[in-house]
Structure 1
């Protein structure tokens, strides 16, 4: 009798859990979704996030509110995101820096990307492009290299902050080419302004945010990190073409808080993949020199582990852990 009662209770618990999960999925999203992004308004990433949010909101039939929380390599945005409930109505636009590199940059990181986040989707990937100041008087990477080799340590390169992807991408390029430039970190997108003014010589960043500056001649493009030339700048060679192994991951992902209902995660993943499959969204991403990525939730953790392992030694060698 007691055994039958125990089995009945267990069966009821299982059915209750299944019903609760089904109810959560059926009722989601029941309110606006808060979308935290770690960049300032008007930046290339912000433009991408807003276009993506608009398309996703139409797909889900619910408002998505973009929350700009720039600064501290994404830590401000993460702090905001972690204060939201794990009910599927908050998500974070996490790049490779936030997911794979910050754990090697900060001794007391307030989050663990693999333990505190639920991967939803990897949705876009971007190459990096190296640009220089027109005041240098160089037009090709070979000319730039000759100038730098003639005065090692005289010139500097800009970044959006210590440990930022713009910093690490430049450091990798310098290691592969043997050039010596002094690092000058800036807050956010101010690095490109310093190159335009001639205060720093070089900047390596994603092309989406600086394409107009290249097209207007305010920045001179030298090389891109991807496997193919950019459609927007077909005359700019890849580092691979130049004979250098400079491969920098530039993926963007969507994550939710650990504990979010699994069915909600899957539903959001399916919605993201549908949006990315539309010609309009692919066109918007291409305008930012981004490639749409179809993925599973598991791909977020896979890429996080891969790029954490690959870049940990480089970060350690730089001695920039804080």
Structure 2
């Protein structure tokens, strides 16, 4: 009798849980949703998040706001999101560095991205462009490689900080081509300051996302040497891909939306569906095109698959560089 009663209790509990989950899906959201961005206001990820927030606000019939928490390569924002309830009302605009690289870059990170976050939806991926200052005197990537091999360590390259994608991307370029260049991390305003340093010829090489480089390349203030990806950028039709040049340089630059682990599956599914729909809207297509991003329609599970993939590939690279803090 006791066994039957216990079984009945389990059945009723499971039924209650399913009912609660169903009710959660039907009622969510009942209050404002927050998207936490680990970059400052006005940055590329920030404008991407604000466009998404506007679209989601309309489709969910609820306010969606963006909160900027920059610093420490995204760890401040990540730790904040983890400190909030796992209810789907605090989301994190997480990039590959936040999800795949930081666990290798920081010995005392304070969280484990693959365990503490659950994927909601991937958003987009960015290519990378290697560019140089005109004063360096090279116009093609083979010319840069030849110069760097002739004078190992003389040429310097800029990045937006140790462990930043601009740092790791150029280190991978060095590894793939066998060249040596001196790394100069540029602090302060991040990417734009690094690009300014390149244009001035102080640190004449950089590998970074194209959104900040294309106008400068078109104006002749920088020279584009190569771009990642399967095809040339429409905005830079004369700049070849690394693959065209016979160099295997695959650099992930994806953004995603994640939530704290234990967020109800029904809420995650609802958000995933709405974000995938948002990627098809004219507003989001315009935003992505303006930043030269490629949309990624995904399932929630795809985010953690991407996280593990890029952690496995880049963990050994970070270890070899000896840059863990």
1:284 aligned onto 2:287: yes
TM-score normalised per structure 2 = 0.94
1:47–1:177: structure 2 CA closer, same or farther, 3 Å change rule? Answer: same
Aligned partners of 2:312 and 2:289: how far apart in 1? Answer: 29
In structure 1, distance between residues paired with 2:35 and 2:141:
39
Which consecutive unaligned segments of at least 5 residues does structure 1 have?
A: none
Confirm whether residue 173 of structure 1 aligns to residue 168 of structure 2: no
Bigger mean CA offset, 35-44 vs 89-98: 35-44
Partner of 2:96: 96
What is the CA–CA distance in structure 1 between the aligned matches of 2:224 and 2:156, rounded to whole Å? 16
What whole-Å deviation, never above 9, does each CA across 1:167-217 have from its counterpart, x for those lacking one? 110000011112211011123222112112221011111112333333333
Match for residue 206 of structure 1 among 188, 205, 209: 209
In 2, are the aligned partners of 1:53 and 1:64 still within 8 Å (CA)?
yes
CA–CA separation in structure 1 for the residues paired with 2:89 and 2:212? 28
Q: Which residue of the partner structure matches residue 183 of structure 2?
A: 183
Q: CA RMSD in A?
A: 1.6
Is the partner of 2:303 in helix, strand or coil?
helix
Structure 2 equivalent of residue 197 of structure 1: 200
Whether contact under 8 Å (2:51, 2:283) holds in the other structure is: no
How far apart, in 2, do the equivalents of 1:204 and 1:111 lie?
29
| Residue from 302, 309, 320 that aligns with 1:306 | 309
Name the residue aligned to 1:263. Answer: 266
Give the 5 Å matches for 1:14-93.
Answer: 14-93=14-93
Give the drift of 1:3.
Answer: 4.1
1:136 aligns with 2:139: no
Q: 1:217 aligns with which of 197, 217, 220?
A: 220
Are 1:230 and 2:233 matched, yes or no?
yes
Greater Cα offset, 172-181 or 148-157: 148-157
CA offset at residue 224 of structure 1? 0.7
- CA distances 1:29-56 after superposition (whole Å, capped 9, x unpaired): 1111111111122222222222222222
Deviations 1:267-315 (A, max 9, x none): 0000011111234422321221111111001101111111111112211
Tell me how far 1:112 sits from its aligned partner: 0.7
> Normalising by the residue count of structure 1, what TM-score does the alignment of the two structures yield?
0.95
Give the match's secondary structure for 2:114: helix
What is the deviation of 1:4?
4.2
- Paired with 1:32 and 1:209, the residues of 2 have a C-alpha distance of 32
1:158 aligns to what? Answer: 158
Distance 1:220 1:204 in 2: 12
Q: 1:19 to 1:97 in 2, by over 3 A?
A: same
Structure 1: how far apart are the matches of 2:34 and 2:52?
Answer: 13
Cα drift, residue 238 of structure 1: 0.5
128 and 154 in structure 1: CA distance in 2 versus 1, 3 angstrom threshold = same
Distance in 1 separating the partners of 2:80 and 2:226? 36
User: Hey, what's the Cα distance between the residues in 1 that align with 2:73 and 2:121?
Assistant: 21
> Distance between the aligned counterparts of 1:102 and 1:32, measured in 2?
29
* Aligned residue pair count: 322
Q: 1:145 to 1:2 in 2, by over 3 A?
A: closer
Q: For 1:242, what is the secondary structure of its paired residue?
A: coil
Q: Deviations over 1:81-126 (max 9, x none)?
A: 2222111101111111111111111111111111100111111111
Alpha-carbon distance in structure 2 between the residues aligned to 1:139 and 1:38: 35
CA–CA separation in structure 2 for the residues paired with 1:16 and 1:52 = 34
